[in-house]
Amino acid sequence: MSTNSLSARRALQVAALAVVLTTAAPVPAPQAQSPAPAGYKTYDQLTASLRELAKAHASVVKLVDIGKSREGRSIWAVEIASTGSGRTAAGARPALLVAANLEGDQLIGSELALYLARHLASSYASNAAVKTLVDNHAVYILPRVNPDGAEQMFGSVKSFRRTNAAAFDADNDGRLDEDGPEDLNGDGFITVMRAQDPGGDYMPHPDDARLMRKADAAKGEAGGWSVYWEGVDNDEDGFINEDGPGGVDLNRNFQHKYPYYTPDAGPHMVSEPETRAVMDYMLTRGNVAAILTYGVSDNLIAAPTPQGALGSAQTVDLLAFADASMADARTVGTFSTRSTNQNFFFFGFGGRGGPPAQTRRPGQPAPRPPATTINAQDVEYFRTVSNRYRELTGIKTAPPTRAPEGAFFDYGYYQFGVPSFSTPGWGITAEPAAPASPGAPASPAVPARPARPAAPASSFDLTLVKALPDAFVAWTPFTHPTLGQVEIGGFKPYAITNPAASEIDALGKSHAEFAMYLTTLFPRITIAGFTAGSIGGGLHRVSAVIENAGYLPTSTAHGVTSRSVKPTMVQIGVAPDAIVSGSPKTNFVQALAGSGRREDYQWIVRGKPGDRITLKVVAEKGGAAEQTVVLR
């Protein structure tokens, strides 16, 4: 096609769209859009809150700029630990790391992280439990890892986007971000479109005609409908909204189970300035003893199985169906395709290409796949913590979640070697089934179908639409410039990934209590006994008992496997040649279980009365202890 004819065709399409937008009926009047739900904070508001907190509580709060986002916003770390002479340095105390808002659409995490920071700082002088925590531990809080993505919530038009601001050629056509969504019906939300299509795979859900499900031919079901994201085919490649703004999903960009060849995961692990900033920060803080992430994967609301596997993800069919409409656009120029994972919007979902098949030489061992289940020796710790989480928060059912791939909390356990937890930070309560509201009847365009057995009400979409009725936009007719008659509606962006702002304080309180509970579980190394006695001839028997008085082990079993946690060191302060027999001068314990488990050591040493001998014990995640005896 010549440049002139292409330009003419594009002009005609733009003109047609303009006519559609001004003449199609019925089209709801544009809804007035507030900048954001009250209670959720923009980047500037969050930054101001953090600076105010650090200024008001300078003795326990330090605000650190750990890096910049793609668009130049600061990624903040709030470090909470008491200071002063005689206190152990914060970097030597067992620490909790809290990371939030890696996904741009998960702003509740930022609010929970900020609530925790405020609670610890403001209650230090008046709350004994808080004072004990802050005096003996450190808490590192990253309240908004993805500030660029989070700002999309505060735009005049909201869409399902959880990525950062990195431009990406999602459809492999040599252009970046050229086919994004349009708010065709002017309601301030990017939702989905459904259109009657004889070749379509989908049908209205028999339990609620507002929803869609994939037709099952084996049960005699016919489809007849297709589902798309709201918008038009800007680049005329036959796909709608396959290459929109952004980006990389930061919680798919870390170094465990990294989803290679997936557009939203980035060109390689830790490819983004935001994830690089997090890693640089983490790797200089070996005292981090546990990680808590607020994100869209979960191992707290649904406890891991006794075999160490995570529970099933709670995915949204309606969004997955819209993603599927452009899956083929992802395969252009790739070697092969594999099955897709449902995430959120193509700016975070989509197909994945793959490399050519790899062959091995005869006798060459197969590569070892990444671990995908919690080590059997660690499972009970995770299940115990999950049970306590549900008790403290009251949350029983998670909002939409996904199976982790390249997730930060998975990196925390499988690579960094510490107990690592993730939760959406809120839950939903399903209400009794109810018919569609009077303002959103089943579409008259839905054709009558032969009687068939009712499908089981197993779709998570049904749970969502019952529990969050205000989160669903009623279907309304619209004349699309290329698809013809469609209906626009579906779940509102952000409404199914964040609770109402009125719930923030209650959630913040319970999650702050849970974060404090985690710090009480840390390994705590102590010297339970250290004695010396003369056995004659200038020789002395020195005995020592070290104990882990905390609940967690000094290293998880997987931390030992991954060799990511330093062994606990037990060292007696004498010259090596003064040791006649017994234990070495320096001993290492790979992992000392908690709840009072002990290790015993004995030495026969040369010395004279009055000599002082010091025993030093250092656990990377469990603190240090030191004690001295005098030879007699």
- Give the mean model confidence (pLDDT) for residues 296-309: 96
Helix, strand and coil percent figures for the chain, each rounded to 5: 25, 25, 50
pLDDT confidence bin for 273, thresholds 50/70/90: very high
Asked if residue 539 and residue 411 are part of one domain, the reply reads no
The reported pLDDT for the residue numbered 87 is 82
Task: Identify the CA nearest to 314 among candidates 165, 423, 188, 471.
Answer: 423
Beta strand pairing call for 612-619 and 623-630: antiparallel
Looking at the fold, whether 548 and 425 belong to one and the same domain comes out as: no
Provide the CATH number for the domain around residue 378.
3.40.630.10
Of 486, 520, 554, the domain-final residue: 520
pLDDT, one tens digit per residue, over 53-63 is 999 999 999 99
Share of the chain above pLDDT 90, in %: 68
Q: Is 115 exposed, middle or buried (0-12, 13-18, 19+ CB in 10 A)?
A: buried
Same domain, 65 and 114: yes
Q: Which of 532, 517, 529 is nearest to 625 (CA)?
A: 529
pLDDT of residue 2: 43
User: Which phi and psi angles does 391 have, rounded to 5°?
Assistant: -65, -45
Q: How far is it, in rounded angstroms, from Cα 441 to Cα 446?
A: 11
Nearest to 420 by CA among 329, 328, 585, 552: 552
pLDDT, tens digit, 9 for 90 and up, residues 432-477:
444 444 334 444 444 444 434 443 445 899 999 999 999 999 999 9
- The pLDDT of residue 39: 86
What are the DSSP calls for 278-335, one per residue? HHHHHTT-TTEEEEEEESS--SSSSPPPTTSPPPPP---HHHHHHHHTTGGGGGTT-S
160 in a structural domain: no
- 27 lies in a domain? no
pLDDT at residue 215, as a whole number: 93
Are 351 and 378 found together in one domain? yes
The stretch 403-415 carries a mean pLDDT of 97
Distance CA 559, CA 568 (A): 12
Strands 597-606 and 579-582: antiparallel
Identify the weakest region by mean pLDDT among 225-229, 378-382, 517-521, 546-550.
Answer: 225-229
Q: What is the pLDDT of residues 581-605, one digit of tens each?
A: 999 999 999 999 999 999 999 999 9
Three-class SS state of 136: helix
CATH number at residue 559: 2.60.40.10
For residue 525, what are the contacts with CB-CB under 8 A and spacing of at least 6?
A: 546, 547, 548, 549, 554, 568, 592, 617, 618, 619, 622, 623, 624, 625
Which of 19-28, 38-47, 72-81, 323-332 comes out lowest in average pLDDT?
19-28
Look at the chain and report how many structural domains it folds into.
Answer: 2
Instruction: Supply the pLDDT for residue 351.
Output: 38
Most confident among 79-88, 411-420, 422-431 (mean pLDDT): 411-420
Judge whether residue 560 has pLDDT over 90: yes
Task: Tell me, yes or no, whether 255 and 353 share the same domain.
Answer: yes
Residue 518 reports pLDDT greater than 90: yes
pLDDT reported for residue 450: 40
Residue 205, domain member (yes or no)? no
- Nearest-CA neighbor of 326 among 443, 213, 211, 192? 192
Query: Both 401 and 535 in a single domain?
Result: no
Same domain, 128 and 256: yes
Last residue of a domain, one of 520, 549, 581: 520
Query: Mean pLDDT over residues 217-223, rounded?
Result: 89
CB 9 within 8 A of CB 236: yes
Res 309: pLDDT: 95
Q: How far is CA 113 from CA 137, 314, 340, 460, 514, in A?
A: 17, 24, 32, 28, 12
Quick check: 66 and 280 in contact, CB under 8 A?
A: yes
373-394 residue pLDDT tens: 999 999 999 999 999 999 999 9
Is 536 found in the same domain as 512? no
The DSSP code for 364 is: P
Domain identity same for 400 and 545: no
Sequence letter at residue 33: Q
Does residue 27 contact residue 185 with C-beta atoms inside 8 Å? Answer: yes
* Local confidence band at 236 (pLDDT 50, 70, 90 cut-offs): low
Give the whole-number percent of the chain exceeding pLDDT 70. Answer: 80
Mean pLDDT of the chain: 85
- Non-local (6+) Cβ contacts of 257 within 8 A are 370, 372, 404, 405, 406, 407, 410, 414
Q: Does residue 91 lie within any of the structural domains?
A: yes
Q: What is the rounded CA–CA span in Å between residue 524 and residue 522?
A: 6
The mean pLDDT value for 37-64 works out to 93
Q: Which of 475, 494, 520 is the last residue of a domain?
A: 520
CA nearest neighbour of 347 among 514, 192, 149:
149
Higher per-residue pLDDT: 24 or 338? 338
Question: 507 and 611: one domain?
Answer: no
Residue 600 main-chain phi, psi, to 5 deg: -110, 145
Return all residues near 551 (Cβ < 8 A) that are at least 6 apart.
Answer: 381, 520, 521, 522, 523, 594, 595
Are 514 and 544 part of one and the same domain?
A: no
Element housing 534 (H / E): strand 525-536
pLDDT at position 581 is: 96
Q: What SS3 class is residue 374?
A: coil
pLDDT value of residue 137: 97
Asked, for residue 302, whether it belongs to a domain, the answer is yes
Residue 480 φ then ψ, to 5°: -90, 140
Q: Give the predicted TM-score (pTM) of the model.
A: 0.85
Question: Does the pLDDT of residue 415 top 70, yes or no?
Answer: yes
Residues 558 and 507 in one domain: no
Q: Compute the distance between CA of residue 153 and CA of residue 494 in angstroms, rounded to an integer.
A: 7
Residue 391 lies in a domain: yes
Angle, helices 504-520 vs 379-393, to 10°: value is 150
- Check residues 340 and 83 and name the one with the higher pLDDT: 83
Q: How confident is the model at residue 242, as a pLDDT?
A: 57
Tokens of 4: 């002139």
Q: Is residue 34 part of a domain?
A: no
Q: DSSP characters for 163-214? A: S-S----TTSSS-SS-B----TT-SSB--EEEEE-TT--EEEETTEEEEEEE
DSSP classification of residue 446 = S
| Residue 274 confidence (pLDDT) | 98
Whether the per-residue pLDDT at 150 is higher than 60: the answer is yes
Domain that holds residue 554: 525-630
How does residue 169 score in pLDDT terms, banded at 50, 70 and 90?
Answer: low
Give the tens place of pLDDT for each residue, 94-123.
Answer: 999 999 999 999 999 999 999 999 999 999
Residue 440 within any structural domain of the chain: no
